[in-house]
A and B are shown apart, each in its own frame.
Chain A
Amino acid sequence: MEFTFEKGRIRFDRELSELDVFVRKFVDALDACGIRYVVISGYVPILFGRSRETEDVDLFIERTSQEKFTELWNRLSADFECINAANASEAFAEYLSNDTALRFAYSGSFIPNMEVKFPKRDLDRYTLDNRVEVILNGRSLFISTLELQIAYKLFLGSEKDLEDALYLWLLFKEHLDVETLKRHAVQLNVSEKLRDLK
């Protein structure tokens, strides 16, 4: 695997999958509307080659005005439809503003879908504020820090999550801020699981 890893930025090139194109189209709409986002969870290890599939791609978007969200909704409508809300005002008022995720899929499809939430907890806001830029084939995509991603996967604790954590650790361990990873692990009470990874 060839990549460059600097603080806050990972750059690499590779063949894109249909899932990558799906994510790309979605974040292009966010970028066009000037809405900050961070992709978290299962897509992150897949982005870096993990050999598994996923039904949904989770991301936080910054809290925006209803006007800006409506602009996003209209832009997304070219390729996507929302699975669980009928229109932009319902989506904003009854879902996002109540900390309930919206799910967007290609029109007429259910999977894969983008699971979109506003940051709710301090941890969510930290995730957005400390996002890492991945430059894939010359295009930017923003993901959670790998240190937090690994600790959070350990916290979630399903076998799939533990495997994702192991995968990211093995792939990037020479590049990680181990002290920060340990601090996340202490906060999330997964220090023992982190030691098991090593």
Chain B
Amino acid sequence: MTDLPHVDLAELNADKEENIRQRREFIRKYVEWLKKTPNAVWSAQQNRMLSKPKAKA
């Protein structure tokens, strides 16, 4: 049986919290940008993201 890798839960949890912090920081930046960007520009970007081709499972 293959040995499982060592897991440091404290380190993983710290990484998870940091990832959450970074995602929220992204949302703050995104809203700042959105507020000063014409609707035609941000909605075209959002539309490209929503309509992007999906990878096959």
Known: A1-B35, A1-B39. A18 touches B50 (CB 8 A): yes
Given A163-B24, A170-B27, decide whether A15 and B35 contact each other with a Cβ distance below 8 A.
no
Residues of B that sit less than 8 Å from A by CB: 20, 23-24, 27-28, 30-31, 34-35, 37-40, 42-47, 49-51
Check if A192 is an interface residue, CB within 8 A of chain B.
Answer: no
Q: How large is the interface on A (under 10, 10 to 19, 20 to 34, 35 or more residues)?
A: 20 to 34
Chain B residues within 8 Å of A65, by CB? none
Contacts of A179 in B (CB 8 A): none
Please indicate the chain A residues that have their CB under 8 angstroms from the CB of B43 in the complex.
14-17, 49
- A171 near B34 with CB under 8 A, answer yes
Interface of B is mostly: helix
Contacts A51-B30, A167-B27, A170-B28: A17 and B46 contacting too (C-beta < 8 A)? yes
- Nearest A residue to B32 via CB reads A170
Q: Are B50 and A53 in contact (CB under 8 A)?
A: yes
* Additional A-B contacts beyond A2-B38, A163-B24, A170-B31 (10; CB < 8 A): A1-B39, A13-B39, A15-B43, A15-B44, A16-B47, A17-B51, A46-B50, A163-B23, A167-B27, A167-B31
Q: Which residues of A1-51 have CB atoms within 8 Å of chain B's CB atoms?
A: 1-3, 12-19, 46, 49, 51
A12–B39 CB distance below 8 A = yes
